[in-house]
Each structure stands twice: as structure tokens, then as C-alpha cells.
Amino acid sequence: MNTGKKMLILAVVLSVAGAAGIAAAGIQEEREPTIGISKIVSHPALDAVEQGIQDELADLGYAFQFDLQNANGDFTAATQIATKFRTDRVAYAVGIATPTAQALVNEITDIPVIYSAITDPVGAGLVETYDAPGGNVTGYSDMTPVEEQLRLLMELTDISSLGHVYASGEANAVVLAEVAKEFAQANGIEFVEATVTSSEEVRSAAQAIAGRVDAFYVSTDNTVVSALSALVEVANNAGVPVMSADPSSAEGIDVLAAQGFSYYNMGRFTGRLIAEIEEGRDIGSIPVQYMTDPADLDLLINLDVADALGIEIPAHILEQATIVVQDGQQVQ
């Protein structure tokens, strides 16, 4: 083949390769922006937040891609996920639950960080103030109404001692344990606590105190909620009722009652907050967000558990219930 023909073929090859490169670049440019979502563990409440975020943004007409990550209770994994989001330059980094949100805030300073299902964002070091914090971080708190939940428990059964298993390494769990302890002491109730560092320890921690308490209270503690069925099994074997702060995770588990926020709705609200920032709202001007509408509170009552424990549910409480379980079925 002569030199002229070789040069012509080379020119055609380069031209085709260049066109392919341009086309590939065009495809890359047209890809939807990505939202990275990191949750500390998978359980019904946190999964509901994750789904709510996606559903709200889809319903609002946004075409985001989602990078869904689960740290499986490991803070080192949460940090690795945060680093991945920073390296990949996601459009938004979302932390569901305190440890994953802390990892994102520690690793990311120039991408919007949105937290959701965080009990105390200031105490957790995510933002400096509850008001407009400045910077690149905002989101939704799930500060649960501990006192209201415990008053409800007191209406359901007489208690002189209250058992509480919580994770000593979760900032949110420690805050809620202190609130529960103060309420118990103010109402003449002995507060019997047991701490854990992992979900695997929940059963033995519950067994250690089950014989000393009249009821168990379970807060929105991700470590304990992940092992809620184990705690409830111990409690029911001891004839002790359980009040949970997380109805989403209590469905299908034999707690006496569960009262708390709809975590799916919290996810929807979090998605709406992302949309507002996408439309130009200054993230640094957004204070800590709360779910304040009473309609966002769910109340689950399990009549099967009540019957087994010899507890009669007052009519006015049953009327307030959004979910009633009887004969193993949800009847309301």
C-alpha cells in the first residue's frame, strides 16, 4: 500500500474515533445528576426515608440518578462511602441517620450535604446552630416526642420501673436516653438502662434487665431497632410490654404499642428540601427542619399483645390509633 493510501485510511480512522469521542462526551453530559444516599443500616424506617426521597423528587419531575449505599452499622464504611461521593462529585450527598451524616460532613465541604432522621444535628456536630447555620449542610431532624410516648405507655399499663436498651456509640440514642431518664425520674419511675455497641448485643442486654422492669421503651436508636425483634421476644417471654418510638419498624413485630413519625413522609419532606435547593434556595440559610404536624405521627396498637399481657387498651387510645393489629392482621 502506498503512502498516500495509508495517510487517507489513518485520517478516516481518526475522524471516526473523534466523532465517537464527541458522541460519548455528549452522552456523558446528558446524564442526569446523581444524588448519593448513605444510610447507617437497612431497617424499615431508614429504608422508608430513602424511598420517600426518591418518590418525592420523581413526583416533582426531577430526573436524578441515585447512588444508594448502606454502611451496615460500620462508621469506617460510612467514611468510605462519603469519600466515594466526594470523589464522584455527586450533586447532593444525603446522610440518613447520625453516623452516616457525620461521615459526610467530615469528608465533604463543597457539595450540598442533606441529613435526614437525625435526632440532634447540633449535638451531633452537623451544624453549629439550629437557626440558619451557613455552610453546605442542612436537613430534617426526627427528634421523637419521648415524653408523649412515655405518657402513653403510662396510660396503657402501671409501671414503677422502665427498661431502656440503647447504643452508647450513637449520639442520637444517648440524647434520647437522657430525655427518657429525666422523664422517668420526674414521674417516680426507676430507670433501668443497658447499653450496647452493636445489634448483636441487644438480646443479651434485654435479658440482663428484663426481670427488673415493668416495661421497655425503645427509642429511634438504629442499632437497637435493627434488633427489635430480639428485644421484643425477650420482653414478651418475661411478660413485659414494649413501647417503640418507630411504628415503621414495629409493623410485624409484637410490640404493645408504637408511636412516632412516618419515616416515609420524612423522606418526602427531605426530597422536597432538595428540590428547593435545586431551584436556588440558599442551603446556608435553611435552619434545622422538623416534622411538626400531628398528622405525621402514627400510632400502632397491637391487641394480640395486649390480650396476652392482660392489658386493656382504653377506648380513647384505640380511637387515636392509625394502625391496629388483631388476630395477626392489620384491621385498621
The mean per-residue pLDDT over the stretch 85-102 comes to 97
Is-contact 105 76, C-beta < 8 A?
no
What pLDDT score was predicted for residue 265?
93
| Residue 166, pLDDT above cutoff 80 | yes
What pLDDT score was predicted for residue 208?
98
Ordered strands of the 113-118 beta sheet: 65-70, 34-39, 92-96, 113-118, 137-141, 289-290
Distance between CA atoms of residues 97 and 170, nearest Å: 9
What pLDDT score was predicted for residue 296?
79
pLDDT digits (tens, 9 = 90+) for 259-307: 998 899 999 999 999 999 999 999 999 999 998 777 778 999 999 999 9
**Among 81-85, 120-124, 158-162, whose mean pLDDT is lowest?**
120-124
| Residue 254, pLDDT above cutoff 90 | yes
Q: What is the CATH number of domain 146-261+295-330?
A: 3.40.50.2300
Query: For the packed helices 171-186 and 146-156, what is the interaxial angle rounded to 10 degrees?
Result: 50
pLDDT classification of 330: cutoffs 50, 70, 90: confident
| Residue 42, pLDDT above cutoff 70 | yes
**Among 18-32, 156-170, 303-317, whose mean pLDDT is lowest?**
18-32
Query: What H or E segment, with its residue span, contains residue 273?
Result: helix 263-278
pLDDT digits (tens, 9 = 90+) for 17-34: 444 443 444 444 456 899
Nearest to 169 by CA among 118, 217, 221, 125: 221
Cell of 151: 405518657
| Residue 54, pLDDT above cutoff 50 | yes
Residue type present at position 46: L
- Domain at 32-143+263-294: CATH architecture: 3-Layer(aba) Sandwich (3.40)
- Which residues does 201 contact at the CB level (< 8 Å), separation at least 6? none
pLDDT digits (tens, 9 = 90+) for 187-211: 999 999 999 999 999 999 999 999 9
What pLDDT score was predicted for residue 28?
41
What pLDDT score was predicted for residue 4?
47
Reduced to 3 states (helix: H, G, I; strand: E, B; else coil), residue 122 is coil
How buried is 18 (Cβ within 10 angstroms: 0-12 exposed, 13-18 middle, 19+ buried)?
Answer: exposed
**Cα 301–221–197 angle (5° rounding)?**
135
* Mean of pLDDT over the chain: 90
pLDDT digits (tens, 9 = 90+) for 224-233: 999 999 999 9
Task: Indicate where the chain has its CATH 3.40.50.2300 domain(s).
Answer: 32-143+263-294, 146-261+295-330
Residue type present at position 190: E
| Residue 9, pLDDT above cutoff 80 | no
What pLDDT score was predicted for residue 261?
87
Instruction: Give the DSSP letter string of 181-231.
Output: HHHHHHTT-EEEEEEESSGGGHHHHHHHHGGG-SEEEE-S-HHHHTTHHHH
The mean per-residue pLDDT over the stretch 76-101 comes to 97
